[in-house]
A and B are shown apart, each in its own frame.
Chain A
Amino acid sequence: MTPLPSADQVWQALAQVPDPEIPVINVVEMGIVRDVRVEGGKAVVTMTPTFSGCPALHVIRENLEQAVRGLGFGEVEVRTVLFPPWSTDSITPEARAKLERYGIAPPRPAGEVGLIELELEPVRCPRCGSLDTSVKNTFGPTLCKSIHVCNACREPFESFKTL
């Protein structure tokens, strides 16, 4: 009988699961996988949602389960926790760079957020790098993105909301 994969191998398998809405980055880089445990013949993966209304959640959960099952686990449990709340600060530096290359301005550091503070810092255009950009819509095609336009190169672009 072959020994069951280790938690490290589970992490590696999870790192192959792309975010369904932003396929250039994976769920581990997104910071939504919180914990992996291998108990006996069972793998337990703990994840946290980005936005609580994210419609991709059940797809992500299924994809995580499938990736881990593919390693040979008979039983896989995917748990969801809300705390500590996911923040865009959980996205790794490598993933931020990938986002920018993909054309999505990465989020700024969130830190402790005020109740209704407006985002005052300009968003950098992922195409030409100019800071001369305007917000067109604080809501975009997915819950986690806003829409901007660059006044320098005239290109519209998306930005990951700082959460």
Chain B
Amino acid sequence: MNEQVKQALIAKLTALADDELILAHRDSEWTGHGPILEEDIALANIAQDELGHATVWYGLRSALDGSDPDRLAFFRDAGEFRNCEFVELPRGDWAFTMLRQYLFDVYEALWLSAAARSTYSPLAEAAAKVVREERFHLQHTQAWVERLGLGTEESRRRIQAALDEQWGYAQQLFVPLPDEALLVAEGIVPDLAEVKEAWLERTTEHLRKSGLELPLQPGYQPASRQMHTEHLWSLLAEMQSTARWDAEAKVW
């Protein structure tokens, strides 16, 4: 692998890991606050899985450049994170959280299914592992979208509002990184345009079936992962506080 491809792969793995880490943190904010105990547990499980996936991607990056996953997670400032804005938006209400997780789960499951055929075997192997876990998320969040969309007038209003707000942000998942084309050309990562097509087909069908209307205007669509909303700063202040107070802490 030449240096340029390697750097592109490091950037891609960082973006993948950061998406999972930040989304996991947003989900974990519901721990102890879920609408019912079972859902509290379910979302905590999902958050834990996403955190596990972040560890996998940081681990693959580490194998390429020797970076320390803990340093990356806890000691980078917001401007150095490469997650999309979609995952850093505040958790909102239950409908907002469930819809975001659903839209992300469909994307992740499709991306991983394609990445399992990567020509870079460490990535192919990790994707084959992680995709098996994603099924449980998708099963869960897909049911929630339907339940809220076809539930009461209030639940429908809330999830429709979430969809109107998120639809544009979600599109950033499919914006390739500056050098991602190099990786696609070598068969290392899937082409995001193809993943997007499958994602649009699947989500559109399910959202409509759930009584929701797709926004006519997609709204704000962030384009660069170098840019973040103000919300990432406060998220990191909380997530990183313990590690920054006492980096050597063995017992938190």
Contacts and interface: CB of A to CB of B under 8 A. Distances in A.
B193 interface: no
Interface residues of B, number: 32
A136 interface: yes
A53 B53 CA distance: 7
Contact of A139 (B51, B126, B140): B140
A52 B138 contact: no
Nearest to B48: A53
Nearest to B47: A53
Interface in A106-163: 113-118, 136-141, 143, 147, 161, 163
Given A83-B129, A85-B129, 20 more contacts: A52-B130, A53-B49, A53-B51, A53-B52, A53-B53, A82-B56, A82-B125, A87-B132, A113-B135, A115-B110, A115-B138, A137-B38, A137-B41, A137-B42, A138-B42, A139-B136, A140-B41, A141-B41, A143-B49, A163-B133
B124 to A, nearest CB: 8
B50 interface: yes
Interface of A: 51-55, 82-87, 113-118, 136-141, 143, 147, 161, 163
Contacts, number: 79
B38 A82 contact: no
Interface string B127-164: 01111110110111010000000000000000000000
27 contacts: A51-B49, A51-B133, A52-B56, A53-B49, A53-B50, A53-B53, A82-B56, A82-B126, A82-B128, A83-B129, A85-B132, A115-B113, A115-B135, A116-B135, A116-B139, A136-B38, A137-B41, A138-B136, A138-B139, A139-B41, A139-B44, A139-B45, A139-B46, A139-B140, A140-B45, A147-B38, A161-B136
Contacts of B138: 115-116
Nearest to B60: A82
Contacts of B125: 82-83, 85
A85 to B, nearest CB: 4
